[in-house]
Structure 1
């Protein structure tokens, strides 16, 4: 698909202007260069030839003329050689060979300048192809393939109709659940006095907030609207046209003031709010970045701003209240710890106090509270809070859904290693709720909201929101029906309503089994002791049954590992299915392996999608999105808990991918692209650097999927299990040393220690004569207090440090020149670009005379920025 609609007319005009300018420069340069070469050829000797070249070179306009650093260097080169030439007229020691060397150098500079102009021309031709709506696909489908598969459009329409039919059958049919039963079920988790007081406090705070929030006068202003707009621009609620309008609103204070007035009037009459649409709210299938279709409501912009503000304000309040529950040690059940008597015995034998704040359990609980808990609930009006977001902020993983999922993956992998080593068995359970937001029963939703104390006037508003008048037809007023089930997805209300219900599951699992459930909205994860995992899974099954929800069996599975024989009764309690995150799969041996079956399926789809690209640049975009980003995420980010073997497996998988994608080109992406450019543009002899060089320097910016892993290679533990083995050896050694120290105590020293710890407590009177406590007692509940185990856990959770390519003195000046000509030097480059630039430095310098190909002044920077922001989606015919 051509991208002409994606570029504004202004950017297209700028690009065309720069194209004409560089083409004019190129033709002028080549004509003058030809004259210079002809004059030099006609000169009588080497001195005369060099004089002609010097004079011509000095007068030529180079592609990067105007960069003072480059201009000064050219001027100095001409001045120096002119002086040497003058010396040669009187000094015989300046030989002909030296002058010929200078001549060759200037001829090479002229050829390098030609190369820069030629590749600038190619660059613009590539941009022209990218914006041309008539561009042809790179690979045309074979007739046989069409006969076998049918047309792509037919398959897509068939699946989309299935999706629409399924959606309609769910949302327009009510599923009535027993609100009394739900209330009683949830109330059972607050059955003691302390829990009852907590629940009473939450309800009181909710009622107070509801009253005060409704009483706000003129809550909308420029600042509030700009925050709401920023959030709506980062999620998928609105279509592209609406987002463009919103973006324009954000910079126009007059418009913002007018919108504020309208929304403030609407808020003052909240009890009479309605969707205000006789034609019905249009629901349309939209393709997401992962290629799957989701049915999305096409909301009015003002309505979206209004509802976002209300939903997020409620989210902020409830998030604060809900977070107090896991912070309360009397309410939230945690793994077993040493009793006070056990602590005293430990102190008596070791003369040290086990400290829970230093333990593994405390660290994981802090991560749960600060990162995983209610992570999809917005904390501010600006927060899109997308738990499934694909953007990965490497500087802070907790800011993105992708980053949080990678953290969880590492935690589970580390848990498996530690628990197997220390206890011999471990279980991991993964699940997901089927069509959760789409199929959420309204009776369940309102029962839960009532339970948490939401007053009736707000429930009436929420009911009007949930029971939206919907139409599946693009024609306003056609077949409008009232929604009876589910809530809009990607809306802030999805996070508000969805998390209110699912946090109730968090409470149920913890109070029922003592475990802490890790969630990403409706993605569910359990890891730890098999008995408690089985109990927690039983609670989840009971919860979904009472609340009228459904388990997605296709995304549900478990792995139960044991160093001995597995308990058959426990095995029967766990759900069947695989445990996967992305394309990383936990095997029955406790290893994480890449699911090659999934890889092959995606490889075949990628091959088709690349072939459908109508330009080289769109091909590069698709490649970068899939090979440079998608696969990096779904294979799992490298970490010590996966070891060096994981990185090796990723590299081998990428090698296999390229062999499969480019089977007829020896697995080489560059050979394939060279062939395509030759076929489409008639240009040959393209260096590798042109493909991989960043766009800022005149390359195509093709991402090399191997480099992100080579910069990490050999920075990881070879065998993660050895880290826990080392801990166990240290633990055993410490026990032996403490035992020897205790045995060396005199009777009087032992008696003084006894009195200081137990202070005459008769319950421990016999302890003074007991033998030193066993290793089993010494290590009892070590997860709650062992600082050394906590350090081992942190080591396994660590991501590898990057090992940058070292800048050599030989090419260091070239990067100084790059800093002056393009504003970026060595220190400004990413680790991957340092690898690329150093790898191709010699080729670039020899071919183009610099580390750049196209002058910064000629680069269409506006177009490139738009290009980088353009999202590429998988063209998979999938939906759920």
Structure 2
């Protein structure tokens, strides 16, 4: 494994470091002893420091370092010049001795960093051991590791419950009424023809495109590289296989060409393809949200083949359906839409120019955002995107694509729902928001439903046969022991595989169309995979809900009642619907308060996660694994699920999140028994490091500084909130008030132009008065289609507050300018303040002074001795949660 090679390199570095450190400390002690006895201590220090190679506090004296040669000259001057205070040479001596202390600190923290890295390798968490264990344990583990692993194998009650339920879906064939599905789809997609048309209908074009799809491209080296990246990104393989896949990606073109040859041979004989070897191992992994998911563990070449085919089918599927979305077959409208007569009236009173601006409206913005961000968002637009990584959306904020990541789409969903609630309440006086998802969607998808839908849409029979082989894999759980019997999958789709995403999205695209058609375009489904949201006016939502229930019944699916609910907010005293589902509407850790019409933190849910966090952190057997778990949980997961700062949420929401983070940290460390003896993560990590490694008075900068500069890179969850607070909206609703005022001003302008210019140029259409301008009520009746001011306010509400970090100072600029040359490739800390991410600008302000004081610069150790690559490799493995 690459980690073990790097560990050996690290051990060699540590031995070299130990020799250097020992030699330095001996020479340092000798020098200080000589200095104490010397008649000229400063000169003795200067000569001794030169012999030790310590010429300044930084790599380049010209950039502000403390120069030994300068000190020598000033010392000579002081013997003749009485104007130099007698206390000044003592200060010079203290500065020179500080160079020795700084070098000792660098050696000490380089060694500490190395020991922490090797601790991470030597003491993996039990959840990581589980991934590598073929049948109940890792043969390389010591006895304590094996005992710990066995405790994991027993597992938690919740894991066993979810495993049993998963088994009940996957290994039970679920037959659906395929004739009923065909009839349903025919009624949905095929319009009755008044007369025979030569031109193909929009649906016939869709069918033709699916029927003509084929894997025509020949797999190349580049394709293999893309497939490897996608499989790694999807986190399909873990442990040793993941390391092997990383090694394969770096193996060179010759090896990749051989893999491409194997894939091409498999494609050429796709009719005879099957999973080999069989059965395929499966494993349960705990997710950060508390759920368990079952991952397949196929051989590497099979994983790459299925990814190669899947990504091509996914890109083509999205392009085909997007073309259908743009067609006239897909209804698109607002709750109150303009008729042709209304268009004629507007054209008469406002002029053709206003009519041409209809695209600059909220309705147009909605359509584009739905198309770009939500429609089949699980599928990539191009081959280079790979998988969309839906399952890791809360654990990572990195995305290679230039389109919105799943995390960003999830944040957009919260902002859209909030903004629509504000806008529709302002226009119509009420708003209805509904939420649901499908119970065990992936494992519960009936194979008969999938193949019936694919056949109806026109997918060629040869590919349907391949998909049948793909889905009917034989599975075995190694954790069940060597005597466990393989079983064949009869239902559902494998997780974290692009082909599975395509099947799910094709099925749900039919639901998207069904709801849009039933509501005449007034309701669109905003889906995050199978997490379904829709909103609007109550009557439209009721129609949409009936369409969802009908689709669910026909396709053989079931809705998840625990995640199904609706909220009706009315300023007109309307009653809630009797037909819409009961229950709260939740987004992450937020729940919508119907009385206040705002999102609030669900503290009961937070308390449950605090208990889970204690459990997970207790399982971290190394300091670095604790830091990684903290960064995932506190640095990303919690912050993401409270909702990122947004104009529509305002400063009230931001302060609520601040208070919740403060509450979490206090409860996490200061529980009823105060078992940790600490009150925050900083003091806790310091105590752990001192207890395990004997290092006292740990520098704060060491905890929060980037890894490549010798720190642990612990994330501070308060900084991203602070950067948004200053420019957050005090009263978000005021943005709509401004839009309403601008509409009034625009009405007066058009009215004046009509009186002086327009009214006698053309004959008035039916219902229009040539002498009297239409009323303001008529002017704003279709605001969602006509008001540019509303569109501006709508888009402003969806935006984030302007990020405002701390301004630069002379000291910070000096510290950055004196960054040693060997550390200047850092992606986090850069020599120019404005070139850094706002998070790191803030961090530099907090900790640069301590770094300069204790380490003489922003690099905390001896660069060539720091095992940075080992730590980066270990950090690239996702956090594995204790089950």
The answer to whether the superposition gives a TM-score over 0.5 is yes
Superposition map of 1:553-564 within 5 A = 553-564=561-572
Superposition map of 1:449-528 within 5 A = 449-472=454-477, 479-513=485-519, 514=521, 515-528=523-536
1:154 CA displacement: 7.6
Matched, 1:389 2:397: no
Structure 2: how far apart are the matches of 1:386 and 1:268? 29
Structure 2: how far apart are the matches of 1:262 and 1:393? 32
- Corresponding position of 1:27: 22
Structure 2: how far apart are the matches of 1:165 and 1:740? 73
Superposition map of 1:25-64 within 5 A = 25-44=20-39, 48-62=40-54
- Corresponding position of 2:4: 9
Structure 1: how far apart are the matches of 2:547 and 2:63? 75
- Corresponding position of 2:747: 735
- Corresponding position of 1:69: 60
Does the CA-based 8 Å contact 1:437-1:487 persist in structure 2? yes
* TM-score, reference length from structure 1: 0.89
- Corresponding position of 1:265: 265
Structure 1 stretch displaced more, 288-297 or 584-593: 288-297
Does the CA-based 8 Å contact 2:514-2:547 persist in structure 1? yes
Partner of 2:794, secondary structure, is helix
Superposition map of 1:36-435 within 5 A = 36-44=31-39, 48-62=40-54, 68-69=59-60, 77-133=67-123, 153=152, 156=155, 158-189=157-188, 190-193=190-193, 197-210=201-214, 213=215, 216=216, 219-250=218-249, 251-277=251-277, 279-288=278-287, 290-335=289-334, 336-351=336-351, 353-354=354-355, 355-382=357-384, 383-390=386-393, 391-393=396-398, 398-435=403-440
- Corresponding position of 1:140: none
- Corresponding position of 1:145: none
Structure 1: how far apart are the matches of 2:442 and 2:704? 43
Partner of 1:535, secondary structure, is helix
1:396 CA displacement: 7.0
Structure 1: how far apart are the matches of 2:627 and 2:247? 30
- Corresponding position of 1:634: 641
Does the CA-based 8 Å contact 1:280-1:476 persist in structure 2? no
Structure 2: how far apart are the matches of 1:368 and 1:198? 20
Does the CA-based 8 Å contact 1:63-1:113 persist in structure 2? no
Matched, 1:726 2:734: no
Matched, 1:596 2:599: no
1:681 CA displacement: 2.5
Partner of 1:51, secondary structure, is helix
Does the CA-based 8 Å contact 1:289-1:871 persist in structure 2? no
When residues 84 and 720 of structure 1 are mapped into structure 2, their CA distance, relative to the original with a 3 A threshold, is: same
- Corresponding position of 1:535: 543
When residues 283 and 105 of structure 1 are mapped into structure 2, their CA distance, relative to the original with a 3 A threshold, is: closer
1:811 CA displacement: 4.0
Partner of 1:25, secondary structure, is helix
Structure 2: how far apart are the matches of 1:126 and 1:68? 26
Larger Rg: 1
Structure 2: how far apart are the matches of 1:256 and 1:24? 42
- Corresponding position of 1:783: 784
When residues 333 and 184 of structure 1 are mapped into structure 2, their CA distance, relative to the original with a 3 A threshold, is: farther
Partner of 1:604, secondary structure, is helix
Partner of 1:711, secondary structure, is helix
Partner of 1:853, secondary structure, is coil
Does the CA-based 8 Å contact 1:424-1:563 persist in structure 2? yes
Structure 1: how far apart are the matches of 2:280 and 2:449? 23
Does the CA-based 8 Å contact 1:64-1:855 persist in structure 2? no
Partner of 2:201, secondary structure, is helix
* TM-score, reference length from structure 2: 0.88
Gap runs ≥5 in structure 1: 1-5, 138-150
Structure 2: how far apart are the matches of 1:465 and 1:853? 52
Partner of 2:225, secondary structure, is helix
Structure 2: how far apart are the matches of 1:466 and 1:660? 46
1:135 CA displacement: 10
When residues 274 and 393 of structure 1 are mapped into structure 2, their CA distance, relative to the original with a 3 A threshold, is: closer
1:542 CA displacement: 0.8
Does the CA-based 8 Å contact 1:659-1:666 persist in structure 2? no
Structure 2: how far apart are the matches of 1:477 and 1:558? 48
Does the CA-based 8 Å contact 2:350-2:750 persist in structure 1? yes
When residues 584 and 115 of structure 1 are mapped into structure 2, their CA distance, relative to the original with a 3 A threshold, is: same
Structure 1: how far apart are the matches of 2:73 and 2:236? 69
When residues 508 and 658 of structure 1 are mapped into structure 2, their CA distance, relative to the original with a 3 A threshold, is: same
When residues 86 and 468 of structure 1 are mapped into structure 2, their CA distance, relative to the original with a 3 A threshold, is: closer
1:95 CA displacement: 4.0
When residues 786 and 23 of structure 1 are mapped into structure 2, their CA distance, relative to the original with a 3 A threshold, is: same
* 1:621-651 superposed Cα distances (whole Å, 9 cap, x missing partner): 2111111111121111111011111221111
Partner of 2:293, secondary structure, is strand
- Corresponding position of 1:794: 795
When residues 30 and 372 of structure 1 are mapped into structure 2, their CA distance, relative to the original with a 3 A threshold, is: same
Does the CA-based 8 Å contact 1:708-1:832 persist in structure 2? yes
Matched, 1:840 2:847: yes
* 1:49-82 superposed Cα distances (whole Å, 9 cap, x missing partner): 22222222222244999x85159976x7221221
Partner of 1:756, secondary structure, is coil
Partner of 2:433, secondary structure, is strand
Structure 1: how far apart are the matches of 2:400 and 2:571? 38
When residues 767 and 619 of structure 1 are mapped into structure 2, their CA distance, relative to the original with a 3 A threshold, is: same
- Corresponding position of 1:616: 623
Structure 1: how far apart are the matches of 2:610 and 2:601? 14
Structure 2: how far apart are the matches of 1:412 and 1:72? 52
1:783 CA displacement: 0.6
When residues 676 and 71 of structure 1 are mapped into structure 2, their CA distance, relative to the original with a 3 A threshold, is: farther
Structure 2: how far apart are the matches of 1:846 and 1:820? 19
- Corresponding position of 1:579: 585
Q: 1:656 aligns with which of 657, 663, 675?
A: 663
Structure 1 stretch displaced more, 12-21 or 154-163: 154-163
When residues 683 and 203 of structure 1 are mapped into structure 2, their CA distance, relative to the original with a 3 A threshold, is: closer
Structure 1 stretch displaced more, 291-300 or 645-654: 291-300
Structure 2: how far apart are the matches of 1:721 and 1:152? 54
1:199 CA displacement: 1.7
Structure 1: how far apart are the matches of 2:645 and 2:207? 44
1:816 CA displacement: 0.9
Structure 1: how far apart are the matches of 2:468 and 2:126? 51
Does the CA-based 8 Å contact 1:63-1:117 persist in structure 2? no
Structure 2: how far apart are the matches of 1:501 and 1:545? 13
Does the CA-based 8 Å contact 2:311-2:383 persist in structure 1? yes
* 1:122-154 superposed Cα distances (whole Å, 9 cap, x missing partner): 3333334333349999xxxxxxxxxxxxx9748
Structure 2: how far apart are the matches of 1:810 and 1:857? 27
Q: 1:684 aligns with which of 696, 706, 711?
A: 696
1:511 CA displacement: 0.8
Structure 1: how far apart are the matches of 2:151 and 2:859? 41
* 1:589-643 superposed Cα distances (whole Å, 9 cap, x missing partner): 2111222222121112212222222222222221111111111211111110111
